Amino acid sequence: MIVNRGETKSIKVSNGTVDGILFNVYMYAAAVNTTISISDLNPQELTVKAELTRSKKVINVCNDNLKVLGLFSAKNYGLTDWAVGHTLTPKGVSTKEDMIAVCFLSFGGCINAKDDDELVIQTVCGRGTFGANLDQAVSYVEFNERVAIGVERATPQIVAQVVQANITNEKYSIGDGVARLTFLNFDKTDIASQVINTLQLASDKLQASVNFYDIFNMDKNVYTSPIIQYSAAGQQLSLYPQTFTLYAWHGGKYDILDNVFVNASYNSSNVSASQNYVVAQKFLFTPELTARAANIIGKHLVDNHEAVS
């Protein structure tokens, strides 16, 4: 689905499995021999909303701008492809430069849309999405659902809260079903001017009290895979040096946290407006969905057994 500047487009999924949204942003220079860069794109002007209607109830999967959702999704995977982009055609004396930036907005799990379910994915391309160096008429955003294989044992959700400017302390009630918790920072280029001072996390299974360097250490050595650290992708980690994973589910049965509260203290002079966010990836569990997932898993087991018999 293509959405141009000033447009709103939607995709509806009523029969299938989806685990996220693929975004391809195409940028074309307004004039020949002009260098363009990712700074000519304002992802805050791209609003993404995914809503699942099930049994006449509406479940919010995500609803935020792609500045927040993009960094949250791409933090350790493909961040340079999103935060730097790729030049497709270099500028020339008679050639207009163009480039692409790509992002996979992962929901964090599968959504099985079936029966009366309907998943609606909407993207709003604001009029300020593309900067003055870009040709407004031909630059555009392409987005599509990512078709997946999997069973929806719980419905994934992404929720974000902005950190108020110059704040010293703030408490966040994150709730139940928390699989991942991330602190996003957009304006710091090193770790010298620390935004977070200390952080306390309380939940049904995990209690933690950490300082800035604990957070920095755990982000790199606990929540970031060594495979990423030692690969070329590890270079991404310096792009947003004060964006940290505060907690990440490792896939164990008891790793998802309930009753999550976060108490963060900040160095207020380093907290700029709209530059810091606390983002959680959660799962919504219901008895009906648990029963449906069990039936699907049972059917898959029978199908797989018959396939190899």
CB distance 10 to 122 below 8 Å: yes
Neighbours of 43 (CB within 10 A): 24
Fold of 155-284: Jelly Rolls (2.60.120)
Q: Which residues pair with 180 in a beta bridge?
A: 248, 281
Predicted pLDDT of residue 293 = 77
Q: How far apart are CA 195 and CA 272, in angstroms?
A: 9
Q: What share of the chain is helix, strand, coil (3-state, %, to 5)?
A: 20, 45, 35
pLDDT tens digits, one per residue of 3-26? 999 999 999 999 999 999 999 999
Predicted pLDDT of residue 229 = 57
As given in the structure block, the two tokens for residue 153 are: 């044992």
Predicted pLDDT of residue 250 = 75
pLDDT tens digits, one per residue of 138-168? 999 999 999 999 999 999 999 999 999 999 9
Predicted pLDDT of residue 251 = 65
User: Which residue ranges make up each domain of the chain?
Assistant: 1-148, 155-284
Q: What is the CA radius of gyration of the chain?
A: 21
The residue ranges of the chain whose pLDDT is under 70 are: 226-237, 251-254, 298-309
Predicted pLDDT of residue 67 = 98
> Where do runs of H (alpha helix) occur along 94-211?
none
Predicted pLDDT of residue 305 = 43
Q: 158, exposed or middle or buried, with CB in 10 Å at 0-12, 13-18, 19+? A: buried
